[in-house]
Amino acid sequence: YEILQSLPEEETNLRLYVVLQQTHVFPYLDRLRAETLIIWSKNDPTVPPDRGIKLAKLIKNSDFHLLNNAGHDVQIDQSEAVNRLIRHWTAKSPTKGN
């Protein structure tokens, strides 16, 4: 019963979060010039892959990777793959972590 009472507020918060992103985040992502590694899960039930793909298209200098067999916590579900991607990405970065 308690969960049902909080649903409208949660839905309102979700809608506000989406508006916040669309108004104050997404319009400015194309201004980013820093190299950006984006790691996403193909099976994320919370934030589907199309959102990651959209981010990768908006961030011009991004490197997008879509991993299988992981949920929303891709860094936990596929920790070895995520660590490997990060190590490879930082090794090829001109700043090498500086």
Q: What is the pLDDT of residues 13-66, one digit of tens each?
A: 777 778 888 888 899 999 999 999 999 999 998 889 999 999 999 999 999 999
**Does 95 share its domain with 62?**
yes
How many domains does the chain contain in total? 2
Query: Angle CA(54)–CA(39)–CA(28) in degrees, nearest 5?
Result: 40
**Does 98 share its domain with 85?**
yes
Domain of residue 13: give its range. 1-31
pLDDT for 85: 98
**Does 22 share its domain with 43?**
no
Neighbours of 1 (CB within 10 A): 4
pLDDT: which is higher, 60 or 6: 60
pLDDT for 1: 40
Q: Is 24 a catalytic residue?
A: no
C-alpha span between 23 and 39 (Å, rounded)? 23
pLDDT for 96: 53
- Amino acid (1-letter code) at residue 23: T
Catalytic residue among 24, 65, 72, 88: 72
Secondary element (H or E) of residue 37: strand 36-41
C-alpha span between 25 and 58 (Å, rounded)? 10
pLDDT for 4: 46
